[in-house]
Structure 1
Amino acid sequence: QFIDGFWACVLGGIVPVPVAVGISDAHRHKLMHIVARLGRPFLYTTGPQVARLEKFAASEGLSFASAVINERTFTAEHVADISQPGEVHRSVPGDTALIQFSSGSTSEPKGIVLSHANLLANIRAIIERSRLTPHDRGLSWMPLTHDMGLIGQHLAQSAAGISQAIMPTSLFSRRPLLWLKEASNLCSTLLSSPNFGYKHFLKVFDGKGLEGVDLSAVRIIWNGAEPISSALCTRFLDAMEPFGLSRATMQPVYGLAEGSVAVTMPNPDRKYSVLSVKRLSLAVGRQAQMEVPGSAAAVDIVGVGQPIDDCRLRIADDNDAGVADGIVGRIQICGGNVTDGYHDPDGRLEQPYTPDGWLKTGDLGFIDNGELYVTGREKEIIFINGENYYPHDLEFIVEHHAGVELGKVVVTGARVTGRDEDEVIVFLLHRGSLGDFLPLANKVKRSIAERAAVDVGRIVPLRTIPKTTSGKLQRRQLAHRYEAGEFDATLVSLDRLAQASATIRNERISELEHDIFKICAAVIADRDVGADDDFFELGITSLALAQIYERIDEKYPGCLDMEDLFERSSIRAIAAHLEALLKKESAVQQAS
């Protein structure tokens, strides 16, 4: 349905704006902001989605969005008459091909305008660098609303005449092993996944394993869309090597929506490179210093290849002047694939260009032997599961939906030794007891999980919140203190209190509750779950809920919908609902 709608827009001269609606309020809010930015766009979606959007817009008092939904929406189910041929619009290279809205900020998503010329330049370069041919076979679970799924996979492979199989992202979430089972069945040569996808796959693989899978046909697995973990790449390749997967298939790449999708890519058929760099040498303007691999002072950074054709890249200093190789600086790009700017009908957005016309990516990195190494974000964006989140957005949610006063919450990203990705850490000003802190912490976790679909790593009480002399929050200082273990003793005490509380609540549970408890415990191995604990207060991710749903459905086929886990978000509530359904089914069978 998405592909039909997308290509109908392209052929009809209508500008498509791909948006993932998702299941959280944050995604719906983002859609409402986009509707407002575009004025009165048409919406193309499914009937059930329209009903959910109508309900949400009404509950939030968004009259402008309600008008668009009621008056300018048509659904895939009602597009039935295709007997009349449409009139093909003859586009020129400079026409707008699509608008991609940034995935990060929930409050102010920016619409990145891409022309046909931008897309063709990027697609041509992807085909050349990756040596794509009609003999390749693609398989992708990446969302078509994401630039990597739409442009990097579907459009590039379509242009190369490649046969493609598309796996619904929701299916990968529930059954990640099916991804490589189908790759084996289809003899797929081209795969892709961001960092979190490999982690999600391995979590299920470690428990279930794979049988009868042959991955020897795979020649490229693109790895991009978020910071790349060297350790996770190694784990994945180690696990899949017995199934015939070559270590040279892993291809770390770098890109961004402002560059259509791809900016740097390695040459295929060579093992990706990793540099162990002294962590403290990665400040802007410093020379990246090599360190002994595995040492406490070292951070491993994965190379993401060289600039593709028709795209130039430079590392710049504070004055937007290029710096020498090895110096950490701001990544800037220009070329045929780079957008001319954000969708900005009222002229109020700051466009992301230097005075000499280079696009500021907001990322930091350095060049070594001609290859780009990305070290992080210039600002404080937190990368989680292929999405970027702004601390001030999450703080806004806590202040407005968890009842925390303004200025008494700080959100930051931190990565402790041994983790493959950033954690979201929330610091709360609290001068009472730890026992009194637990209910507040649970409320904060629930508000962030419901509104932004983010799994909060830890919530930490603070006696004072550090600020600069001008009153700005010192997020990075708190992140460094967390990474250094300063709050470990407090967190251990909080874990003991939470475990004791869960043990008391679990002393008396039914047999059905026990079945669901075992399923939850198998999926959520990093924390104790009580029978009455709310999944959202625990910060359980939608990926974990999808796995819980899959396992419940295996044992009780067809009894639950995925939505039931969001509406009845505890073990006891799910068990009660399931018990009622089973009794009803039994009564019907006896009556017949």
Structure 2
Amino acid sequence: MTALRTRSATVWHALLQHAEQGPDAPTITLIPEPGRQHSLRVDTLVEHTQRAAAHLAEHGVGHGDRVVLCLPTGQEFLTAFFATQLLGAMPTAISLPMRFGGAAGVEAQLKDLTGYLRPAAVITTTDVIQALPHLVDTCLIDGAHLLARAHSTDAPLHPLRRPRSEDLALIQCTSGSTGRPKGVMISHANMAANCEQFTSAAGWTKTDTTVNWVPLYHDMGLFTGLLFPLYVGADTVLMPPSRLLRHPADWLRHISDHHGAVSAAPNFAFGYATARIRDEELDGVDLSSWRISICGAEPVQPATMDRFFTRFARWHLPATMPLPSYGMAEASLIITTTRPQAPLRFDSIDRTRAAVDHHAVDVDPHSPHALHIVDCGTPVAGTEIRIVDDTGTPLADGRIGHIQFRGPSRTLGYFDLPEETAQAIDGPGWWKTGDIGYLREGGLRITGRSKDLVIIRGANYFPSDFEQAAETVPGVRLGAVIALGHRPPDADSEELHLLVETELDSHQHEALRQAVRSAVTSRTGVTPAQVHLLPKKSIPKTTSGKVQRAKARRLFLDPTPHPPADACPAAT
């Protein structure tokens, strides 16, 4: 590894430096809905943070504590996040429940999380507090009341402190194969390193305004929408993730209105915007300022990117294509990325050789045997990646295996889980990502996730290959297909099952099943055992739109004879 020099020791060092600019300090603009917005200068944010920190200290929050944030994108989140850090405590952000038909889901989530993290406080909304029964030994703090205290000019100010680099900055929650929470510990040094790594790679400067809709509890939203711009001293615009799903044109309008230069999204959002935005919704929109379009969090599909950039070219969207990137919470965020102005590159490899021989062999892009794999770029400065086989032996370029990385942004480990941390580390600092891929000319290609592989008659298949084939069939909702391997009792091998959302009427379902079965068989050589057709919004997803494979599998295998309307069918 090469040494990495950061321009600021921590994000807090950068934040306080920018706050000293006073009226010229960077701003955070919050747009909860069209026609309403509020701009918050970072010097004002720092002052609010000091008052909120004093209030949290009165509730017993102190250095080394954990604090759970269950808040929407807004001033409440910003104040609570930085106030927690100012006290030397670690925030852990989780999503708000999408609806309160019963708060059982969020209640169970919070009980599991509080039992694991043992937080000094949970900061959330009035609705959540009223919907939940008493959480034993947990201090519940209303985010609105905390914000009111932050705005009160006669409230006491907590002294400012710059954290030590080795102090923990946050705990990002993820789930293991069991579904139990795992807290990824990120230090201030890890955070500053990744801020330096990506902003330098992207050429991100203080003149580049960010427009972000990805939720702040998600590492992509937190870093690209908040921490990266604060680190470089740039303005940022935050909109709630619900606006993207309800009115995707708002995303592009805000980029135009605020001359946004940076915006990040998973692949699905580019496809969703292409399909759902009407031309008349973009009157007067100019996207010429958008030069850094980050795409990550899920596999990047070349066809999706081509449709997006072709569709919106008439609104002056630069034809530079996105920056495919690869990362994970255990790396703070970014591990590899392409660079601005670089064309989108992808390989067309033989799917059979990839699945059977674990070798990336080029074929004609139009071949029915072609599997398209996007180049996710080279490692950011100071980070290394390697591909290893099942024994941990490094593999040559073009050989498909397990992806490992090491670098200055790598997590210290999982909170209070020493065994899981030890299992994730291989040799001197290498972290096992759990993903599968290969290297070519220094660039990383992701082919799948090891635990998601579908294994049929001894051959490994990437679920994305089946899913992409199904999505070519008219009537199948884009981004709403999940391929699962399932071994029935007494069977010798897994069978392929497809969970497919559609809005077609029931009398068209059998024809659609046959069309999907035919498309998948023709493209992959594997015939699905069953195609399960589901109504819209049945497949579980995060609020950022990413499919939840583990949850889908659990619902699929649930033997309950009458699953909820929004659940997947039980396996039969």
TM class by shorter-chain length? Answer: 0.5 to 0.7
Q: Does 2:410 correspond to 1:342?
A: no
Q: Does 2:149 correspond to 1:74?
A: no
Choose from 180, 193, 199 the match for 1:121.
193
Determine the C-alpha separation between the residues in 2 that align with 1:147 and 1:542. Answer: 13
**Cα distance, 1:541–1:136 mapped onto 2, change above 3 Å:** closer
Choose from 111, 122, 130 the match for 1:43.
122
Name the structure 1 match of 2:387.
315
CA distances 1:339-365 after superposition (whole Å, capped 9, x unpaired): 121112675765411133310000111
CA distances 1:293-314 after superposition (whole Å, capped 9, x unpaired): 1221001111111000121111
Alignment of 1:269-308 (within 5 A): 269-283=341-355, 286-308=358-380
Is the deviation greater in 250-259 or in 267-276? 267-276
Decide whether the 8 Å contact of 1:26 with 1:106 is kept in 2: no
Choose from 262, 267, 270 the match for 2:339.
267
Aligned AA (1:10)? Q
**Cα distance, 1:124–1:249 mapped onto 2, change above 3 Å:** same
Q: Does 2:71 correspond to 1:4?
A: no
Alignment of 1:450-489 (within 5 A): 465=488, 474-475=493-494, 477-479=495-497
Choose from 257, 260, 264 the match for 1:185.
257
Shift of 1:34: 1.4
Decide whether the 8 Å contact of 1:22 with 1:28 is kept in 2: no
Shift of 1:415: 2.6
Decide whether the 8 Å contact of 2:371 with 2:465 is kept in 1: no
Determine the C-alpha separation between the residues in 1 that align with 2:176 and 2:131. Answer: 22
Decide whether the 8 Å contact of 1:12 with 1:88 is kept in 2: no
**Cα distance, 1:280–1:207 mapped onto 2, change above 3 Å:** farther
CA distances 1:161-208 after superposition (whole Å, capped 9, x unpaired): 111100111122211111001111111110111011112212312586
**Cα distance, 1:174–1:569 mapped onto 2, change above 3 Å:** farther
Aligned AA (1:356)? P
Determine the C-alpha separation between the residues in 2 that align with 1:35 and 1:325. Answer: 44
Shift of 1:323: 1.2
Decide whether the 8 Å contact of 1:122 with 1:261 is kept in 2: yes
Name the structure 2 match of 1:432.
none
Name the SS for the 1:362 alignment partner. Answer: strand
Shift of 1:280: 1.5
Shift of 1:417: 4.4
Name the SS for the 1:92 alignment partner. Answer: coil
Determine the C-alpha separation between the residues in 2 that align with 1:337 and 1:284. Answer: 34
Name the SS for the 1:327 alignment partner. Answer: coil
- The percentage of aligned residue pairs carrying the same residue is 29
Shift of 1:150: 0.7
Name the structure 2 match of 1:173.
245
**Cα distance, 1:352–1:125 mapped onto 2, change above 3 Å:** same
Shift of 1:541: 7.4
Determine the C-alpha separation between the residues in 1 that align with 2:511 and 2:309. Answer: 39
Decide whether the 8 Å contact of 2:267 with 2:301 is kept in 1: yes
**Cα distance, 1:340–1:240 mapped onto 2, change above 3 Å:** same
- Cα RMSD (Å) of the superposition? 3.8
Determine the C-alpha separation between the residues in 1 that align with 2:280 and 2:541. Answer: 20
Name the structure 1 match of 2:509.
495
Determine the C-alpha separation between the residues in 2 that align with 1:114 and 1:543. Answer: 23
Name the structure 2 match of 1:144.
216
**Cα distance, 1:43–1:191 mapped onto 2, change above 3 Å:** same
Decide whether the 8 Å contact of 2:470 with 2:481 is kept in 1: no
Name the SS for the 1:188 alignment partner. Answer: coil
Determine the C-alpha separation between the residues in 1 that align with 2:250 and 2:197. Answer: 30
CA distances 1:217-260 after superposition (whole Å, capped 9, x unpaired): 11011000111111111111111111111221411100000000
Decide whether the 8 Å contact of 1:216 with 1:246 is kept in 2: yes
Name the structure 2 match of 1:52.
131
Structure showing the higher helix proportion among its residues = 1
Name the SS for the 1:225 alignment partner. Answer: coil
Determine the C-alpha separation between the residues in 1 that align with 2:328 and 2:230. Answer: 21
Aligned AA (2:97)? G
Shift of 1:27: 5.3
Name the structure 2 match of 1:19.
94
Q: TM-score, normalised by structure 1?
A: 0.65
Alignment of 1:321-470 (within 5 A): 321-344=393-416, 351-380=423-452, 415-419=466-470, 465=488
Structure showing the higher strand proportion among its residues = 2
Decide whether the 8 Å contact of 2:111 with 2:135 is kept in 1: no
Name the structure 1 match of 2:73.
none
Name the structure 2 match of 1:32.
111
Aligned AA (1:243)? W
Shift of 1:210: 2.8
Determine the C-alpha separation between the residues in 1 that align with 2:437 and 2:181. Answer: 25
Aligned AA (1:99)? I
Decide whether the 8 Å contact of 1:30 with 1:107 is kept in 2: no
Determine the C-alpha separation between the residues in 1 that align with 2:429 and 2:356. Answer: 21
**Cα distance, 1:179–1:467 mapped onto 2, change above 3 Å:** farther
Name the structure 1 match of 2:160.
88
**Cα distance, 1:139–1:381 mapped onto 2, change above 3 Å:** farther
Determine the C-alpha separation between the residues in 2 that align with 1:262 and 1:356. Answer: 20
**Cα distance, 1:129–1:218 mapped onto 2, change above 3 Å:** same
Alignment of 1:494-533 (within 5 A): 495=509
Decide whether the 8 Å contact of 2:225 with 2:238 is kept in 1: no
Determine the C-alpha separation between the residues in 2 that align with 1:321 and 1:334. Answer: 16
Aligned AA (2:125)? T
Name the SS for the 2:425 alignment partner. Answer: coil
**Cα distance, 1:298–1:42 mapped onto 2, change above 3 Å:** same
Shift of 1:320: 1.4
CA distances 1:126-151 after superposition (whole Å, capped 9, x unpaired): 11101111111110001100111112
Name the structure 2 match of 1:164.
236
**Cα distance, 1:4–1:418 mapped onto 2, change above 3 Å:** same
**Cα distance, 1:27–1:376 mapped onto 2, change above 3 Å:** farther
Determine the C-alpha separation between the residues in 1 that align with 2:467 and 2:222. Answer: 33
Decide whether the 8 Å contact of 1:312 with 1:335 is kept in 2: yes
Name the SS for the 1:248 alignment partner. Answer: coil
Q: TM-score, normalised by structure 2?
A: 0.67
Decide whether the 8 Å contact of 1:11 with 1:89 is kept in 2: yes
Shift of 1:455: 6.5
Determine the C-alpha separation between the residues in 2 that align with 1:307 and 1:347. Answer: 28
Aligned AA (2:82)? W
**Cα distance, 1:132–1:459 mapped onto 2, change above 3 Å:** closer
Is the deviation greater in 81-90 or in 158-167? 81-90
Decide whether the 8 Å contact of 2:169 with 2:187 is kept in 1: yes
**Cα distance, 1:27–1:245 mapped onto 2, change above 3 Å:** farther
Determine the C-alpha separation between the residues in 2 that align with 1:27 and 1:284. Answer: 42
Name the structure 2 match of 1:98.
170
Determine the C-alpha separation between the residues in 2 that align with 1:289 and 1:459. Answer: 25
- Structure 1 or 2, whichever has the larger Rg, is 1
Determine the C-alpha separation between the residues in 2 that align with 1:528 and 1:115. Answer: 43
Shift of 1:544: 13
Determine the C-alpha separation between the residues in 2 that align with 1:540 and 1:365. Answer: 26
Decide whether the 8 Å contact of 2:414 with 2:420 is kept in 1: no
